Structure 1
Amino acid sequence: MDKISQLPDELLLKILAMLPTMKDAVETMLLSKRWQFLWMMVPRIKYEDSYKNPKYGSFSLFVDRSFFRHEAPVIEALYFKLGSICGSEDIQAWMRSADKRCVRELTIKIDTFTNKGPVLLPWSLYSGGCSMLVTLKLINAVIVDDSASPISFPSLRTLSLESMKYPSGEFVKTLLSNCHVLENLVVEQCEADNVIIFTVIVPSLKSLVLKTLENKLGTNDARGFVIDAPSLENFDIFHFTGFCTFENNMSKIVEAKLVLNTWKLWKRLGSIASFKRLYLCLPSLKDMYSAGSVFSSLVHLKICTCETEWVNVLMRMLKDSPNLRALKLHQCHVLRPKEPRPCWNPAWNEPSSVPECLLSSLETFEWVKYEGAEEEKEVVAFVFRSAKWLKKATIKFHIKTNDTDKKLEVIKELFSSSRRSPACQLEFR
């Protein structure tokens, strides 16, 4: 301990910031006089109301005493995980103190397992109470409306709203429109979300992630998003079932991840020619993008193999991506045991069916969780046979047994069924 105590304050503060909670950091004051006041300057603070049977007010009192004694001129990150003890009044007091300490990143998470009632976030949080915030993450809380005070987030660049309940859709629109420098937005809808149309009008936005908890919101076609973000570069959407309307052509999107239950909201996808990296997990070809669409900028494609029609989706995307250089197949989700395996169409083996990207541009091919099913063998053989410029292929097995002989058998099948380019490096894992 003496050797550690001889380290400079800057390094010791980094060590304290790595401790699980502020309670652990405060307890280091008992080590020696050298440590007595160090905790007051730690730049990253984490409070967790994790006591199983606390006396009323014990956690709140600890936060009051420790946070108000904190002396760091700038707090890089402040994290609250609140349970059954804390309420809106506590949060309001802590937010006033947070503003004085120039908090840059704030996370407030309500533990729904211990806190059964709704926790209202104080209006001061949105009306300039934390003017120096750069990152704000809110989870499982309720936002209240107070039109008497304007919303103000002059420095906010990253906002995450997960499982939140809002006063109205109009409030959401106003909230986001007052984040004038916002670049990153994450929205996760939940069952308690009473916003039917979620409007995102943020000219500065560069990254947008939309999530719905699967099977929680049903298939209400009236629900959806209206997006006006002309600077958007990265767009992720997960388990979405409603509509999605774009108020501009989204011409700057470079990377997208699409995990969808339906393609009906993506009729315009074919017009987005700016995609360079794309990840797809789709149920079928039904209502897919319009025929004749070409993804001329797409160079990296990743497709999830959990759906029964993933082979059809793969072949369609290969056909419409003439400049593709990297292809990755990955079973990212659990297979549905009652659904049939995908089928390989014999017509794809015809020379006339070979996509242009396999003949002229594809350089790397990777398969994660390869099982050696019939359709998988057909796909591997097709790629190896058709990809004339393939430089590297990587196969990562997902065989449910540790039997080395089984893996060797699969490897032997891959070698015997493929006629890849001699320049292609083949790697198994």
Structure 2
Amino acid sequence: MCYINELLDDLLVNILLLIPTKEVVATSLLSRRWRSVWKLVPKLDFRDYSYRYHDTSAAPSEFIDKFLERNTSPVLETFHLNLYHCRDYSPESVEKWVNVAVARNVVDLELIYCLFGVPIRFPTSLYTHETLVVLSLRGTFVEDVSSKTCLRSLKSLSLRFMRFYSEQTVDRFLSCFPVLETLVVRGWICVNVKTYSIRVPSLQSLDIEELVGGYTDPRYDHGYVIDAPRLKFLHIVDHYCGYCSLVNVPEKLEAEIHLRFCDSDKLLGSLTSARKLSLCLKPQMDSCLKGDFDQLVSLELCVMCSLDWLNIILKHSPKLRALRLSRTIHSCQNSRNVRTNWERPSCVPECLMSSLETVEWIAYEGTEEEENVVKYLLENGNLCFKKRWRRDIYGMFSYEILRLGPRSQASSGPQATVIPPLCTFEEKLGHKKLLL
């Protein structure tokens, strides 16, 4: 302990920044040297996950009040309140704490508020905050946005289970962030808002998730209009919305899209400049694409619903180098009637003969349809088997990871297109013994 006590305050503060606030305050009991060090820490990270406090413990609200009152750091850089059990926090107290953080030029603010679905109003002091760079909100209601509102420094925004007064409120709220680069959205289903317009010229990364358990009928009047000319990464998982419109899609975009119900042809038509695509997107009857994916080099398809896109996209992707077929964590395994039959195309796509280098199939089951796809790829592409193995899940279920790689001169020939038989249970067990 004596060696640590000899360290400078600045170094001790950097050490305390790595631990939760409750433990930071507890260090004041170590010795006289530590009594005031915690007051210099420019961070409050308070997380209330407990359902009940002991009678001897200070009330959570009292703890936060005392920390803000006694903390002497000139700038409160980080202010995180995760109030998952809100029986002890009034909306007035929460707004008071946020006002104190704003007055001390907070840079990173996180407000997680959960009270049985009842949101807290957006703190008005944030509307003109000049130094805020990172803002994360959960369980907040935005009713009115002043025309003078402008958060000039905010670059990262996370909105979870938010409520907005109207569609116009969403548009005005997002227009308050002139340099916003990253936007994360979770749980936006709301009666008052059906179309979420995300018009942010500076936006580079957009992550949207609206998950619905099982199979839920779509709301075709619920969807998104995304206008972000500088967007580099787009991730959308929505098992509920009926449409998604992309405006001013830039080149070299990386997109991961999982939408059960939308105009698939129209959506893909706006992604022809993308470099990387990951799709869980059910094709429509007589689906066709207008235009080519001239920049597409990497493609991932959900084998449950999107295998029919394989022929169509390969035909329109002359530069494709990597293909991945899989079942993603957000794929449509709970949907009804999504799988259709793959048909062997009459013409061989250009990319299969020239640019395609690797094919990876996750959750390969070796069905007749899947074997027909693999045979077609091997027969018409410059590919051969690279690796193939089976993994056990919970000792009962198993899946295949099938990899096809570039065909070398040594592996060229008729044997390169032969699909080896699946391992038997006894062979798999023997292989596991060898590994042990």
Decide: shared fold, TM above 0.5: yes
- Please report how far the alpha carbon of residue 419 of structure 1 lies from its aligned counterpart in structure 2 after TM superposition: 11
Shift of 1:155: 0.7
What RMSD in Å do the two structures reach over aligned CA positions? 3.7
Q: 1:301 pairs with 299, 302, 315, which one? A: 299
How far off is 1:65 after superposition? 0.9
Correspondence list, 1:3-402, <5 A:
3-5=3-5, 9-19=9-19, 21-54=20-53, 58-82=59-83, 83-112=86-115, 115=116, 117-125=118-126, 127-128=127-128, 130-145=129-144, 147=146, 150-192=148-190, 194-214=192-212, 219-239=218-238, 241-246=241-246, 248-252=247-251, 254-264=253-263, 267-286=266-285, 288=287, 290-305=288-303, 307=304, 309-333=305-329, 335-336=333-334, 343-345=341-343, 347-348=344-345, 352-388=346-382, 393=386, 395=388, 397-400=390-393, 402=395
Residues 1:338 and 1:292: Cα distance change in structure 2 (over 3 Å): closer
Report the residue type matching 1:27 in the other structure: A
Return the offset for 1:365: 2.6
For structure 1, the residue ranges without an aligned partner over 5 or more in a row are none
SS at match of 1:301: strand
The CA distance in 1 between the partners of 2:149 and 2:59, in whole Å, is 33
Q: 1:419 to 1:145 in 2, by over 3 A?
A: closer
Query: How much does 1:295 deviate?
Result: 0.4
Describe the shift of the 1:270–1:84 C-alpha distance in structure 2 as closer, same or farther (beyond 3 A): same
The residue type paired with residue 326 of structure 2 is H
CA distance in 1 between counterparts of 2:140 and 2:276 reads: 34
292 and 16 in structure 1: CA distance in 2 versus 1, 3 angstrom threshold: same
Using a 3 Å threshold, how does the CA distance of structure 1 residues 401 and 86 change in structure 2: closer, same or farther? closer
Residue by residue over 1:224-273, the C-alpha shift from the partner in whole angstroms, topping out at 9 and shown as x without a partner, is 22333222222222115233334x43133511111011241651532433
Tell me which amino acid in the other structure corresponds to 1:211: E
Quick one: distance in 2 between partners of 1:138 and 1:151? 17
Q: Distance in 2 between matches of 1:372 and 1:17?
A: 52
Higher strand residue share: 2
Q: Which runs of 5+ in 2 are unaligned?
A: 417-431
Change (3 A) 1:361 1:87: same
Partner Cα separation in structure 1 for residue 336 and residue 199 of structure 2: 42
Q: Please, what TM-score do these two structures have when normalized by structure 2? A: 0.80
Is residue 304–residue 310 contact of structure 1 (8 Å, CA) maintained in 2?
yes
Deviation sequence 1:319-346 (CA, Å, 0-9, x none): 221101112222213734976866443x
TM-score (norm 1): 0.81
SS in 2 for 1:353: coil
Q: Distance in 2 between matches of 1:141 and 1:393?
A: 51
Contact 1:329 1:366 in 2 (8 A): yes
Q: Which one is further off, 334-343 or 365-374?
A: 334-343
Secondary structure at the aligned position of 1:84 is classed as helix
Partner amino acid for 1:238?
V
